[in-house]
Amino acid sequence: MERILFGDNQFFGINHFSEEKARQQAMKFQDLRAILDVLQSALHAGVGGFMCTTHDTVGQIAGEVRAHPHKWQGFHFYPGMPYAHKYANAVTELGYLGALKKFIPSGGMLDTLTRGTKAVVGKDIESVMAMLVDAEMKMFAGLETPVIFLQNVVTDLILGLGAPQVFASFAAYVKRRYNAEAGFFTMNLPKLLEALHSAGVENPIVCANVNKAGFRMSGGIEGYREAAAKYPARVIAMSVFASGGISAREAIEWVTNEPYVESIVFGASSRGNIENTVALIREFDQARKNRAA
């Protein structure tokens, strides 16, 4: 796993602390060029991992990367799926058949439809999962996707249903089909790590809120520490600034000293903020190494 990853919330007007800031960001990034400029700033700062949804705009970003590979060397997509709004909007605009044609990989539509029909009739959730993953991954054809994530809306639903074997099936499928590792977003790290362990998914990649304020950390800071000690995992910390509730320096110093945190994902809207955040992570990482030496 890369130590520092870049997220996409700011591009799509998502801010859990300020609706006004979210609105301003959404306006700023209506132009694809503005998004590409920020991503280039992240890449030049040494952050090449892009954790993203499968929003239609990400498809345009993927097209730019395919078209100009020399400008994007070292840039990798870490897609999270499914993106539910995309499907709902497509059905509204195109109808059910039009939506199917848009999302299902063209080379395997008959196979995908057959799998989907059998899955619905047989209530085979694993076949449905494979069908949806293939549809979502269509936009990343030919690009590097080292980790493919289940979004927390699905991860936590499966967790609540008590069906952890689906996690193992997802991990096996993305490895076999895309030569990628599986990742899981969650709002409940302690419960998910236990479920993944029971399903035989060892040393999983899990992305969850991790911050000094305990903001949106189900089970609390101590619960996270205890779960990670009991069930080793590669944890990616998101929402490290608690959506603006903690100063950058204080937030980064704290999260870099959480021993179970392997990677940190952050979002930013400007080159200066990107460079400052990267510099802070590297500063406190080096300080930790110096103390350990």
Q: Give Cβ neighbours of residue 239 (< 8 Å, ≥ 6 apart).
A: 16, 209, 210, 211, 215, 216
Residue-wise pLDDT for 266-282, tens only, equals: 999 999 999 999 999 99
Nearest to 191 by CA among 210, 175, 208, 170: 208
Domain-embedded: residue 127: no
Nearest to 46 by CA among 281, 288, 261: 281
Q: Hey, which residues does 50 pair with through a beta bridge?
A: 6, 77
Domain-embedded: residue 103: no
Domain-embedded: residue 96: no
Q: In which domain, by residue range, is 58 found?
A: 4-83+145-292
Residue 87 has pLDDT above 60, yes or no: no
> Comparing 165 with 97, which gets the higher pLDDT?
165
Positions of E strands within 69-225: 76-81, 147-150, 181-185, 205-209
Domain-embedded: residue 98: no
The per-residue pLDDT of the chain, averaged, comes to 88
**6, 35 contact by CB (below 8 A):** no
Residue-wise pLDDT for 30-69, tens only, equals: 899 999 999 999 999 999 999 999 999 999 999 999 999 9
212 pLDDT band (50/70/90 cuts)?
A: very high
Domain-embedded: residue 27: yes
Give dist(CA 35, CA 143) in Å, integer.
18
Positions of E strands within the chain: 4-6, 49-52, 76-81, 147-150, 181-185, 205-209, 234-238, 261-266
Residue 90 has pLDDT above 70, yes or no: no
> How many domains, the chain?
1
Angle at 102 between CA 159 and CA 136, to 5 degrees: 30
Residue-wise pLDDT for 115-152, tens only, equals: 555 554 445 667 777 888 998 999 999 999 999 999 99
Domain-embedded: residue 136: no
Mean pLDDT of 172-183: 97
- Predicted confidence at residue 141, as pLDDT, reads 96
Amino acid at 289: K
Domain-embedded: residue 26: yes
Domain-embedded: residue 253: yes
Give dist(CA 41, CA 179) in Å, integer.
28
Residue 95 to residues 83, 91, 101, 163, Cα–Cα distance (Å): 18, 4, 10, 32
Angle at 190 between CA 184 and CA 286, to 5 degrees: 75
Residue 66 to residues 146, 210, 265, Cα–Cα distance (Å): 16, 33, 24
- Predicted confidence at residue 132, as pLDDT, reads 84
Which pTM was predicted?
Answer: 0.86
CATH number, domain with residue 155: 3.20.20.100
